[in-house]
A and B are shown apart, each in its own frame.
Chain A
Amino acid sequence: MIRKQVASPEAAVAGIGDGAVVMVGGFGPPGQPVELIEAVLDSGAKDLTIINNNAAAGGEAIARLFADKRVAKVICSFPKAIGSTVFDDLYLAGEIELELVPQGTLAERIRAAGAGIAAFYTRTGYGTELTQGKPVQKFGGKTYVLEEALHADFALVKAYQADPWGNLTYRKTARNFGPLMLAAAKTAVVEVDEIVPLGAIDPEHVVTPGIYVDRVVQASSASGVGQDRAMMEGVVA
Protein backbone atom coordinates (compact mmCIF):
# COMPACT_ATOMS: atom_id res chain seq x y z
CA MET A 1 0.00 0.00 0.00
CA ILE A 2 1.32 3.37 -0.96
CA ARG A 3 -0.56 6.17 0.75
CA LYS A 4 1.34 9.46 0.92
CA GLN A 5 -1.40 11.52 2.57
CA VAL A 6 -0.86 12.58 6.17
CA ALA A 7 -3.53 13.94 8.49
CA SER A 8 -2.29 17.45 9.19
CA PRO A 9 0.34 20.07 8.35
CA GLU A 10 1.93 19.27 11.75
CA ALA A 11 2.34 15.63 10.76
CA ALA A 12 3.61 16.73 7.35
CA VAL A 13 6.51 18.75 8.80
CA ALA A 14 7.36 16.28 11.60
CA GLY A 15 11.11 15.86 11.91
CA ILE A 16 12.14 19.39 10.93
CA GLY A 17 14.45 20.08 13.85
CA ASP A 18 16.79 22.90 14.80
CA GLY A 19 19.44 23.48 12.15
CA ALA A 20 17.51 21.72 9.37
CA VAL A 21 18.05 22.72 5.74
CA VAL A 22 14.61 23.37 4.26
CA MET A 23 13.69 24.19 0.67
CA VAL A 24 10.50 26.24 0.37
CA GLY A 25 8.77 26.49 -3.00
CA GLY A 26 7.24 29.61 -4.45
CA PHE A 27 8.09 32.57 -6.64
CA GLY A 28 6.22 35.38 -4.97
CA PRO A 29 2.96 34.06 -3.51
CA PRO A 30 2.22 31.43 -6.21
CA GLY A 31 3.56 28.08 -5.05
CA GLN A 32 4.07 29.04 -1.40
CA PRO A 33 3.05 26.17 0.90
CA VAL A 34 1.49 28.52 3.43
CA GLU A 35 0.06 25.92 5.81
CA LEU A 36 3.30 23.94 5.89
CA ILE A 37 5.25 27.11 6.72
CA GLU A 38 2.76 27.89 9.49
CA ALA A 39 3.28 24.37 10.85
CA VAL A 40 7.06 24.95 10.91
CA LEU A 41 6.40 28.19 12.83
CA ASP A 42 4.27 26.28 15.33
CA SER A 43 6.90 23.54 15.67
CA GLY A 44 9.43 25.97 17.18
CA ALA A 45 12.28 24.75 14.93
CA LYS A 46 15.08 27.32 14.70
CA ASP A 47 18.54 27.97 13.21
CA LEU A 48 17.05 26.88 9.90
CA THR A 49 18.72 27.23 6.54
CA ILE A 50 16.00 28.24 4.08
CA ILE A 51 16.41 27.76 0.33
CA ASN A 52 13.78 29.82 -1.47
CA ASN A 53 13.87 32.24 -4.38
CA ASN A 54 12.57 35.27 -2.52
CA ALA A 55 13.58 34.91 1.16
CA ALA A 56 11.04 36.66 3.38
CA ALA A 57 8.87 37.86 0.50
CA GLY A 58 5.74 36.28 -0.86
CA GLY A 59 3.43 35.96 2.11
CA GLU A 60 2.77 36.54 5.78
CA ALA A 61 3.80 33.06 6.91
CA ILE A 62 7.29 33.10 5.43
CA ALA A 63 7.80 36.71 6.53
CA ARG A 64 6.98 35.65 10.10
CA LEU A 65 9.46 32.76 9.93
CA PHE A 66 12.16 35.37 9.28
CA ALA A 67 10.79 38.03 11.63
CA ASP A 68 10.72 35.49 14.49
CA LYS A 69 14.45 34.90 13.90
CA ARG A 70 14.05 31.24 13.13
CA VAL A 71 16.24 31.45 10.05
CA ALA A 72 20.03 31.48 10.43
CA LYS A 73 20.86 31.41 6.74
CA VAL A 74 19.02 31.93 3.47
CA ILE A 75 20.09 30.75 0.02
CA CYS A 76 18.12 32.70 -2.60
CA SER A 77 18.32 34.85 -5.72
CA PHE A 78 16.20 37.85 -4.79
CA PRO A 79 15.57 38.67 -1.11
CA LYS A 80 14.21 42.15 -1.79
CA ALA A 81 10.47 42.59 -1.47
CA ILE A 82 8.12 45.42 -2.31
CA GLY A 83 6.39 46.56 0.85
CA SER A 84 8.36 44.36 3.28
CA THR A 85 11.52 45.20 5.21
CA VAL A 86 11.65 41.99 7.28
CA PHE A 87 14.68 40.58 5.47
CA ASP A 88 16.33 43.99 4.99
CA ASP A 89 16.29 44.71 8.72
CA LEU A 90 17.78 41.33 9.66
CA TYR A 91 20.42 41.55 6.93
CA LEU A 92 21.54 45.09 7.70
CA ALA A 93 21.70 44.19 11.43
CA GLY A 94 23.96 41.24 10.56
CA GLU A 95 21.47 38.77 12.03
CA ILE A 96 21.12 36.53 9.00
CA GLU A 97 23.58 34.93 6.61
CA LEU A 98 22.82 35.39 2.91
CA GLU A 99 24.11 33.22 0.07
CA LEU A 100 22.98 34.99 -3.09
CA VAL A 101 22.77 32.77 -6.17
CA PRO A 102 21.73 33.72 -9.73
CA GLN A 103 18.22 32.38 -10.21
CA GLY A 104 19.00 29.92 -12.99
CA THR A 105 22.02 28.63 -11.10
CA LEU A 106 19.85 28.22 -8.00
CA ALA A 107 17.31 26.18 -9.98
CA GLU A 108 19.99 24.06 -11.63
CA ARG A 109 21.87 23.41 -8.36
CA ILE A 110 18.60 22.12 -6.91
CA ARG A 111 17.87 20.07 -10.03
CA ALA A 112 21.39 18.60 -9.94
CA ALA A 113 20.90 17.41 -6.34
CA GLY A 114 17.74 15.56 -7.31
CA ALA A 115 19.39 14.06 -10.36
CA GLY A 116 22.50 12.78 -8.58
CA ILE A 117 24.83 15.25 -10.27
CA ALA A 118 27.50 16.53 -7.88
CA ALA A 119 28.33 19.72 -9.76
CA PHE A 120 28.07 21.34 -13.18
CA TYR A 121 29.74 24.10 -15.20
CA THR A 122 27.81 27.21 -16.20
CA ARG A 123 28.80 30.53 -17.75
CA THR A 124 26.32 32.41 -15.58
CA GLY A 125 28.03 34.63 -13.05
CA TYR A 126 31.55 34.26 -14.44
CA GLY A 127 33.61 37.36 -13.65
CA THR A 128 31.10 38.63 -11.09
CA GLU A 129 31.29 38.87 -7.32
CA LEU A 130 28.75 36.04 -6.95
CA THR A 131 31.16 33.40 -8.22
CA GLN A 132 34.39 34.65 -6.64
CA GLY A 133 36.61 31.81 -5.48
CA LYS A 134 34.74 29.13 -7.42
CA PRO A 135 36.75 26.88 -9.77
CA VAL A 136 36.56 27.80 -13.46
CA GLN A 137 37.38 25.92 -16.63
CA LYS A 138 37.44 26.72 -20.34
CA PHE A 139 35.34 24.72 -22.78
CA GLY A 140 35.30 25.69 -26.46
CA GLY A 141 37.05 28.97 -25.72
CA LYS A 142 34.52 30.13 -23.13
CA THR A 143 35.02 30.18 -19.37
CA TYR A 144 32.59 28.36 -17.11
CA VAL A 145 32.14 28.32 -13.33
CA LEU A 146 31.81 25.11 -11.32
CA GLU A 147 28.60 25.12 -9.26
CA GLU A 148 27.77 22.38 -6.75
CA ALA A 149 24.45 20.60 -6.20
CA LEU A 150 22.22 21.98 -3.46
CA HIS A 151 20.67 19.35 -1.18
CA ALA A 152 18.13 19.75 1.62
CA ASP A 153 16.72 17.79 4.54
CA PHE A 154 13.15 18.80 3.68
CA ALA A 155 11.30 20.36 0.74
CA LEU A 156 8.00 22.13 1.39
CA VAL A 157 6.07 22.62 -1.84
CA LYS A 158 2.58 23.68 -2.96
CA ALA A 159 0.92 21.72 -5.76
CA TYR A 160 -2.61 21.62 -7.17
CA GLN A 161 -3.69 17.97 -7.22
CA ALA A 162 -2.22 14.82 -5.72
CA ASP A 163 -3.34 11.22 -5.96
CA PRO A 164 -2.68 8.67 -3.19
CA TRP A 165 0.67 7.73 -4.76
CA GLY A 166 1.81 11.36 -4.67
CA ASN A 167 1.60 12.03 -8.39
CA LEU A 168 1.21 15.80 -8.73
CA THR A 169 -0.12 18.50 -10.99
CA TYR A 170 0.42 22.24 -10.52
CA ARG A 171 -1.40 25.41 -11.51
CA LYS A 172 0.16 27.99 -13.84
CA THR A 173 3.18 29.86 -12.42
CA ALA A 174 2.76 28.13 -9.04
CA ARG A 175 4.88 25.28 -10.43
CA ASN A 176 8.16 27.24 -10.37
CA PHE A 177 10.73 25.49 -8.08
CA GLY A 178 8.35 22.78 -6.78
CA PRO A 179 9.27 19.78 -8.95
CA LEU A 180 13.00 20.50 -8.53
CA MET A 181 12.88 20.85 -4.75
CA LEU A 182 10.86 17.68 -4.19
CA ALA A 183 13.54 15.64 -5.93
CA ALA A 184 16.40 17.35 -4.08
CA ALA A 185 15.30 16.82 -0.46
CA LYS A 186 15.57 13.77 1.79
CA THR A 187 11.94 14.26 2.82
CA ALA A 188 9.61 15.79 0.22
CA VAL A 189 6.41 17.34 1.59
CA VAL A 190 3.56 18.70 -0.51
CA GLU A 191 0.51 20.80 0.33
CA VAL A 192 -2.24 20.45 -2.27
CA ASP A 193 -5.60 22.01 -3.03
CA GLU A 194 -7.13 18.71 -3.93
CA ILE A 195 -6.55 15.00 -3.38
CA VAL A 196 -8.03 12.88 -6.15
CA PRO A 197 -8.44 9.11 -6.55
CA LEU A 198 -5.71 6.94 -8.04
CA GLY A 199 -6.09 7.11 -11.80
CA ALA A 200 -7.91 10.44 -11.80
CA ILE A 201 -4.84 12.28 -13.07
CA ASP A 202 -4.11 11.50 -16.72
CA PRO A 203 -0.62 9.90 -16.65
CA GLU A 204 0.32 12.22 -19.53
CA HIS A 205 -0.44 15.21 -17.30
CA VAL A 206 1.51 14.17 -14.19
CA VAL A 207 4.19 16.82 -13.64
CA THR A 208 5.89 15.34 -10.56
CA PRO A 209 5.80 11.53 -10.46
CA GLY A 210 5.00 10.20 -6.99
CA ILE A 211 8.43 8.62 -6.56
CA TYR A 212 9.74 12.05 -5.58
CA VAL A 213 7.04 12.66 -2.95
CA ASP A 214 6.98 11.43 0.67
CA ARG A 215 4.10 13.26 2.36
CA VAL A 216 0.97 14.99 1.04
CA VAL A 217 -1.41 17.13 3.05
CA GLN A 218 -4.60 18.75 1.86
CA ALA A 219 -4.75 22.51 2.44
CA SER A 220 -7.66 23.35 4.69
CA SER A 221 -8.26 26.62 2.90
CA ALA A 222 -8.95 24.89 -0.41
CA SER A 223 -12.45 23.93 -1.45
CA GLY A 224 -12.17 20.41 -0.07
CA VAL A 225 -14.11 19.07 -3.02
CA GLY A 226 -11.29 16.79 -3.99
CA GLN A 227 -10.92 15.35 -0.51
CA ASP A 228 -14.63 14.67 -0.22
CA ARG A 229 -14.62 12.90 -3.53
CA ALA A 230 -11.52 10.88 -2.66
CA MET A 231 -12.94 9.87 0.72
CA MET A 232 -16.23 8.81 -0.80
CA GLU A 233 -14.33 6.55 -3.11
CA GLY A 234 -12.39 5.15 -0.15
CA VAL A 235 -8.94 5.95 -1.45
CA VAL A 236 -7.74 8.20 1.35
CA ALA A 237 -5.85 6.41 4.07
Chain B
Amino acid sequence: MVSAKRILSDLRLFGRGYLRNRVGLFFGLIFPVILILLFGAIFSASSGTVNVYVQNQDSGPISTLFLDALNHTGTINVQLVNVSDSLPQVLRDNSVGDGIVIPENFSLNYLMGIPVNITVYGNPSQSSSAIVSGTVSAVANEFNLQHYNGSMIIGLTPATFTLSKYIDFLIPGLIGFSILVSPMFSVVSISSEYKKMKLFKQLSLTPLTKMEWLASKVLWYIFLSTLSFLLMTAVGVFLFGANIMLTVWLIPFLILGPMLFASLGMLVGTLTKNPDTAAVIGQVITFPMMFLSGTFFPISLMPEYLRTTAHVLPLYYIIEGLNAVMVYANYAQALIDIAVVTVITVILFVAAAKLFKWRED
Protein backbone atom coordinates (compact mmCIF):
# COMPACT_ATOMS: atom_id res chain seq x y z
CA MET B 1 0.00 0.00 0.00
CA VAL B 2 2.69 2.50 0.99
CA SER B 3 4.85 3.25 -2.01
CA ALA B 4 8.47 4.30 -1.49
CA LYS B 5 8.50 5.72 -4.99
CA ARG B 6 5.64 8.08 -4.24
CA ILE B 7 7.23 9.12 -0.95
CA LEU B 8 10.52 9.89 -2.68
CA SER B 9 8.81 11.78 -5.45
CA ASP B 10 6.89 13.90 -2.93
CA LEU B 11 10.09 14.34 -0.92
CA ARG B 12 11.92 15.60 -4.00
CA LEU B 13 9.19 18.09 -4.87
CA PHE B 14 8.82 19.31 -1.29
CA GLY B 15 12.55 19.55 -0.71
CA ARG B 16 13.07 21.53 -3.88
CA GLY B 17 10.28 23.91 -2.92
CA TYR B 18 11.73 24.22 0.59
CA LEU B 19 15.17 25.11 -0.72
CA ARG B 20 13.63 27.77 -2.95
CA ASN B 21 11.99 29.33 0.06
CA ARG B 22 14.76 31.30 1.72
CA VAL B 23 12.82 31.97 4.92
CA GLY B 24 12.45 28.28 5.70
CA LEU B 25 16.08 27.67 4.89
CA PHE B 26 17.14 30.50 7.18
CA PHE B 27 15.20 29.17 10.15
CA GLY B 28 16.04 25.56 9.42
CA LEU B 29 19.79 25.83 8.95
CA ILE B 30 21.25 29.28 9.40
CA PHE B 31 19.40 30.45 12.50
CA PRO B 32 20.58 27.63 14.82
CA VAL B 33 24.16 28.30 13.71
CA ILE B 34 23.72 32.00 14.45
CA LEU B 35 22.42 31.07 17.89
CA ILE B 36 25.40 28.89 18.60
CA LEU B 37 27.77 31.63 17.46
CA LEU B 38 25.97 34.15 19.62
CA PHE B 39 25.65 32.09 22.79
CA GLY B 40 29.08 30.59 22.26
CA ALA B 41 30.65 34.03 22.01
CA ILE B 42 28.77 35.42 25.02
CA PHE B 43 29.48 32.55 27.37
CA SER B 44 32.92 31.49 26.27
CA ALA B 45 34.14 34.96 27.27
CA SER B 46 32.65 34.92 30.78
CA SER B 47 33.43 31.32 31.51
CA GLY B 48 37.09 31.99 30.83
CA THR B 49 39.26 34.23 32.99
CA VAL B 50 38.07 37.25 34.93
CA ASN B 51 40.02 40.45 34.48
CA VAL B 52 40.96 41.87 37.88
CA TYR B 53 42.57 45.24 38.49
CA VAL B 54 45.31 44.89 41.07
CA GLN B 55 47.16 47.64 42.88
CA ASN B 56 50.33 46.29 44.39
CA GLN B 57 51.58 48.72 47.07
CA ASP B 58 54.09 46.19 48.32
CA SER B 59 57.64 46.17 47.06
CA GLY B 60 58.74 42.79 48.42
CA PRO B 61 59.02 39.39 46.67
CA ILE B 62 55.99 37.70 48.28
CA SER B 63 53.41 39.93 46.58
CA THR B 64 54.93 39.06 43.20
CA LEU B 65 54.73 35.34 44.06
CA PHE B 66 51.15 35.85 45.22
CA LEU B 67 50.12 37.54 41.96
CA ASP B 68 51.86 34.83 39.94
CA ALA B 69 49.89 32.25 41.90
CA LEU B 70 46.66 34.15 41.13
CA ASN B 71 47.51 34.27 37.42
CA HIS B 72 48.21 30.56 37.41
CA THR B 73 44.80 29.65 38.72
CA GLY B 74 43.47 30.22 35.23
CA THR B 75 40.41 32.00 36.56
CA ILE B 76 41.96 35.38 37.20
CA ASN B 77 43.86 37.60 34.85
CA VAL B 78 45.79 40.22 36.82
CA GLN B 79 45.84 43.76 35.41
CA LEU B 80 48.26 45.95 37.34
CA VAL B 81 47.27 49.47 38.29
CA ASN B 82 49.71 52.29 39.15
CA VAL B 83 50.26 52.81 42.86
CA SER B 84 49.52 56.49 42.45
CA ASP B 85 46.00 55.85 41.07
CA SER B 86 42.91 55.40 43.19
CA LEU B 87 41.66 51.82 42.62
CA PRO B 88 37.95 52.59 43.14
CA GLN B 89 38.31 55.32 40.51
CA VAL B 90 39.98 52.89 38.06
CA LEU B 91 37.16 50.40 38.61
CA ARG B 92 34.55 53.08 37.99
CA ASP B 93 36.34 54.28 34.85
CA ASN B 94 36.36 50.76 33.45
CA SER B 95 32.83 49.93 34.64
CA VAL B 96 34.01 46.80 36.44
CA GLY B 97 33.59 45.71 40.02
CA ASP B 98 36.53 43.42 40.66
CA GLY B 99 39.75 44.73 42.11
CA ILE B 100 42.44 43.81 44.64
CA VAL B 101 44.70 45.99 46.74
CA ILE B 102 47.86 44.43 48.18
CA PRO B 103 49.00 46.64 51.06
CA GLU B 104 52.42 48.07 51.78
CA ASN B 105 54.76 45.78 53.73
CA PHE B 106 52.80 42.73 52.59
CA SER B 107 55.99 40.70 52.10
CA LEU B 108 57.54 41.87 55.33
CA ASN B 109 54.47 41.11 57.42
CA TYR B 110 54.04 37.70 55.75
CA LEU B 111 57.61 36.70 56.46
CA MET B 112 57.39 37.92 60.04
CA GLY B 113 54.07 36.20 60.65
CA ILE B 114 52.14 39.39 61.25
CA PRO B 115 48.55 39.23 60.01
CA VAL B 116 47.99 41.33 56.93
CA ASN B 117 44.80 41.92 54.97
CA ILE B 118 44.29 42.03 51.21
CA THR B 119 41.39 44.24 50.15
CA VAL B 120 39.12 42.64 47.55
CA TYR B 121 36.62 44.85 45.77
CA GLY B 122 33.64 43.12 44.33
CA ASN B 123 30.05 43.49 43.19
CA PRO B 124 27.88 40.96 45.07
CA SER B 125 25.42 40.76 42.19
CA GLN B 126 28.03 39.56 39.73
CA SER B 127 29.12 35.97 39.50
CA SER B 128 32.63 37.09 38.55
CA SER B 129 33.08 38.68 41.99
CA ALA B 130 32.39 35.37 43.68
CA ILE B 131 34.98 33.78 41.44
CA VAL B 132 37.53 36.47 42.34
CA SER B 133 37.01 36.37 46.11
CA GLY B 134 36.96 32.58 46.07
CA THR B 135 40.17 32.41 44.10
CA VAL B 136 41.94 35.02 46.21
CA SER B 137 41.01 33.31 49.48
CA ALA B 138 42.12 29.94 48.11
CA VAL B 139 45.50 31.33 47.13
CA ALA B 140 45.77 33.16 50.47
CA ASN B 141 45.06 29.90 52.33
CA GLU B 142 47.77 28.20 50.39
CA PHE B 143 50.24 30.91 51.34
CA ASN B 144 49.18 30.74 54.99
CA LEU B 145 49.68 27.01 55.11
CA GLN B 146 53.06 27.20 53.46
CA HIS B 147 54.18 29.79 55.93
CA TYR B 148 53.24 27.85 59.01
CA ASN B 149 53.97 24.28 58.02
CA GLY B 150 56.38 24.60 55.23
CA SER B 151 54.51 21.90 53.43
CA MET B 152 50.92 21.63 52.20
CA ILE B 153 48.60 19.31 53.98
CA ILE B 154 45.66 19.63 51.68
CA GLY B 155 46.60 20.23 48.10
CA LEU B 156 44.59 20.63 44.97
CA THR B 157 45.41 18.55 41.97
CA PRO B 158 44.30 20.52 38.96
CA ALA B 159 41.81 18.38 37.07
CA THR B 160 39.55 19.23 34.19
CA PHE B 161 36.11 17.82 33.81
CA THR B 162 34.67 18.17 30.33
CA LEU B 163 31.45 19.74 31.57
CA SER B 164 33.32 22.81 32.74
CA LYS B 165 32.60 24.57 29.45
CA TYR B 166 29.24 26.12 28.78
CA ILE B 167 29.52 25.39 25.06
CA ASP B 168 29.51 21.63 25.74
CA PHE B 169 26.18 21.99 27.40
CA LEU B 170 24.93 24.50 24.82
CA ILE B 171 25.38 22.26 21.77
CA PRO B 172 22.97 19.48 22.82
CA GLY B 173 20.50 22.17 23.89
CA LEU B 174 20.63 23.99 20.59
CA ILE B 175 20.42 20.75 18.63
CA GLY B 176 17.28 20.02 20.61
CA PHE B 177 16.12 23.54 19.78
CA SER B 178 16.57 23.03 16.04
CA ILE B 179 14.93 19.59 16.21
CA LEU B 180 11.93 21.25 17.86
CA VAL B 181 11.55 24.56 16.09
CA SER B 182 12.12 23.84 12.43
CA PRO B 183 9.82 20.81 11.96
CA MET B 184 7.21 22.13 14.37
CA PHE B 185 6.78 25.60 12.89
CA SER B 186 7.05 24.50 9.26
CA VAL B 187 4.60 21.64 9.58
CA VAL B 188 2.11 23.73 11.56
CA SER B 189 2.30 26.32 8.82
CA ILE B 190 2.15 24.02 5.79
CA SER B 191 -0.57 21.78 7.17
CA SER B 192 -2.86 24.70 7.96
CA GLU B 193 -2.00 26.58 4.76
CA TYR B 194 -2.51 23.52 2.55
CA LYS B 195 -5.86 22.93 4.19
CA LYS B 196 -6.90 26.52 3.53
CA MET B 197 -5.61 26.50 -0.04
CA LYS B 198 -7.33 23.13 -0.64
CA LEU B 199 -4.02 21.57 -1.59
CA PHE B 200 -4.83 18.45 0.40
CA LYS B 201 -7.99 18.10 -1.65
CA GLN B 202 -5.85 18.45 -4.75
CA LEU B 203 -3.48 15.75 -3.51
CA SER B 204 -6.34 13.44 -2.59
CA LEU B 205 -7.08 13.23 -6.31
CA THR B 206 -3.73 11.50 -6.86
CA PRO B 207 -2.62 8.06 -5.68
CA LEU B 208 -0.48 9.70 -2.95
CA THR B 209 -1.84 8.70 0.46
CA LYS B 210 -1.82 10.98 3.46
CA MET B 211 0.47 8.54 5.26
CA GLU B 212 2.95 8.80 2.39
CA TRP B 213 2.68 12.58 2.43
CA LEU B 214 3.36 12.69 6.16
CA ALA B 215 6.24 10.23 5.82
CA SER B 216 7.84 12.42 3.19
CA LYS B 217 7.63 15.47 5.46
CA VAL B 218 9.14 13.50 8.34
CA LEU B 219 12.01 12.32 6.13
CA TRP B 220 12.67 15.86 4.97
CA TYR B 221 12.88 17.20 8.49
CA ILE B 222 15.12 14.33 9.59
CA PHE B 223 17.42 15.27 6.72
CA LEU B 224 17.27 18.96 7.62
CA SER B 225 17.82 18.35 11.34
CA THR B 226 20.80 16.11 10.60
CA LEU B 227 22.29 18.80 8.39
CA SER B 228 21.67 21.41 11.05
CA PHE B 229 23.19 19.08 13.67
CA LEU B 230 26.36 18.66 11.60
CA LEU B 231 26.67 22.42 11.05
CA MET B 232 26.19 23.26 14.72
CA THR B 233 28.55 20.55 15.88
CA ALA B 234 31.21 21.73 13.43
CA VAL B 235 30.88 25.33 14.62
CA GLY B 236 30.91 24.25 18.27
CA VAL B 237 33.95 22.00 17.94
CA PHE B 238 36.09 24.00 15.55
CA LEU B 239 35.24 27.51 16.65
CA PHE B 240 34.68 27.12 20.36
CA GLY B 241 36.60 23.94 21.06
CA ALA B 242 33.59 22.13 22.42
CA ASN B 243 34.36 18.76 23.91
CA ILE B 244 31.48 16.55 22.84
CA MET B 245 31.17 12.92 21.85
CA LEU B 246 29.74 11.92 18.51
CA THR B 247 28.49 8.35 18.54
CA VAL B 248 25.81 6.24 16.88
CA TRP B 249 23.71 6.86 19.98
CA LEU B 250 22.82 10.23 18.48
CA ILE B 251 21.02 8.66 15.52
CA PRO B 252 17.81 7.68 17.36
CA PHE B 253 17.41 11.26 18.57
CA LEU B 254 18.01 12.74 15.13
CA ILE B 255 15.35 10.44 13.66
CA LEU B 256 12.76 10.41 16.42
CA GLY B 257 12.99 14.13 17.26
CA PRO B 258 11.96 15.55 13.87
CA MET B 259 9.34 12.81 13.52
CA LEU B 260 7.88 13.70 16.90
CA PHE B 261 7.65 17.43 16.25
CA ALA B 262 6.51 17.10 12.63
CA SER B 263 3.66 14.93 13.92
CA LEU B 264 2.86 17.41 16.69
CA GLY B 265 2.88 20.23 14.13
CA MET B 266 0.57 18.20 11.90
CA LEU B 267 -1.84 17.71 14.81
CA VAL B 268 -1.90 21.45 15.53
CA GLY B 269 -2.47 22.26 11.85
CA THR B 270 -5.20 19.64 11.58
CA LEU B 271 -7.10 20.48 14.73
CA THR B 272 -7.23 24.25 14.15
CA LYS B 273 -9.59 26.14 11.89
CA ASN B 274 -7.23 28.53 10.13
CA PRO B 275 -3.52 29.27 9.70
CA ASP B 276 -3.52 32.19 12.16
CA THR B 277 -4.93 30.14 15.02
CA ALA B 278 -2.60 27.31 14.11
CA ALA B 279 0.43 29.61 14.29
CA VAL B 280 -0.57 30.96 17.70
CA ILE B 281 -1.18 27.52 19.16
CA GLY B 282 2.07 26.29 17.66
CA GLN B 283 3.91 29.09 19.45
CA VAL B 284 2.08 28.53 22.72
CA ILE B 285 3.31 24.95 22.66
CA THR B 286 6.79 25.64 21.33
CA PHE B 287 8.11 28.55 23.37
CA PRO B 288 7.50 27.27 26.91
CA MET B 289 8.79 23.86 25.84
CA MET B 290 11.88 25.50 24.42
CA PHE B 291 12.74 27.33 27.63
CA LEU B 292 11.71 24.64 30.11
CA SER B 293 13.47 21.71 28.49
CA GLY B 294 17.02 22.88 29.12
CA THR B 295 17.72 24.39 25.73
CA PHE B 296 19.59 27.54 26.72
CA PHE B 297 20.40 26.89 30.39
CA PRO B 298 20.64 23.75 32.49
CA ILE B 299 17.44 22.48 33.97
CA SER B 300 19.23 22.07 37.33
CA LEU B 301 19.18 25.87 37.68
CA MET B 302 15.38 25.91 37.71
CA PRO B 303 13.19 25.73 40.80
CA GLU B 304 11.77 22.37 41.81
CA TYR B 305 8.23 22.89 40.43
CA LEU B 306 9.53 23.89 37.00
CA ARG B 307 11.84 20.89 36.93
CA THR B 308 8.82 18.68 37.60
CA THR B 309 6.87 20.43 34.85
CA ALA B 310 9.71 19.86 32.42
CA HIS B 311 9.22 16.12 32.75
CA VAL B 312 5.99 16.26 30.76
CA LEU B 313 7.68 17.96 27.81
CA PRO B 314 8.92 15.69 25.03
CA LEU B 315 11.83 18.01 24.25
CA TYR B 316 13.11 17.49 27.80
CA TYR B 317 13.85 13.83 27.07
CA ILE B 318 15.51 14.65 23.77
CA ILE B 319 17.83 17.21 25.35
CA GLU B 320 18.48 15.03 28.38
CA GLY B 321 19.29 12.17 26.03
CA LEU B 322 21.55 14.31 23.83
CA ASN B 323 23.40 15.50 26.94
CA ALA B 324 23.69 11.94 28.20
CA VAL B 325 25.23 10.87 24.89
CA MET B 326 27.32 13.88 23.93
CA VAL B 327 28.56 15.11 27.28
CA TYR B 328 28.35 12.37 29.92
CA ALA B 329 28.54 9.22 27.76
CA ASN B 330 25.83 7.91 30.07
CA TYR B 331 24.20 5.37 27.77
CA ALA B 332 21.91 3.83 30.37
CA GLN B 333 20.28 7.25 30.76
CA ALA B 334 20.20 7.69 26.97
CA LEU B 335 18.40 4.39 26.60
CA ILE B 336 15.65 5.51 28.96
CA ASP B 337 15.30 8.78 27.06
CA ILE B 338 15.16 6.95 23.71
CA ALA B 339 12.41 4.71 25.07
CA VAL B 340 10.34 7.66 26.32
CA VAL B 341 10.81 9.60 23.07
CA THR B 342 9.89 6.54 20.99
CA VAL B 343 6.63 6.08 22.84
CA ILE B 344 5.66 9.77 22.51
CA THR B 345 6.65 9.80 18.83
CA VAL B 346 4.61 6.74 17.95
CA ILE B 347 1.55 8.11 19.75
CA LEU B 348 1.78 11.50 18.06
CA PHE B 349 2.53 10.11 14.60
CA VAL B 350 -0.38 7.69 14.69
CA ALA B 351 -2.71 10.39 16.05
CA ALA B 352 -1.60 12.82 13.33
CA ALA B 353 -2.02 10.27 10.56
CA LYS B 354 -5.47 9.31 11.87
CA LEU B 355 -6.89 12.74 12.54
CA PHE B 356 -5.60 14.56 9.52
CA LYS B 357 -8.06 14.42 6.63
CA TRP B 358 -7.56 14.83 2.89
CA ARG B 359 -11.25 15.38 2.22
CA GLU B 360 -14.14 16.99 4.05
CA ASP B 361 -17.46 15.37 4.78
A binds B: no
- Contacts from B to A (Cβ < 8 Å): none
- The interface of chain A, by Cβ under 8 A from chain B, is none
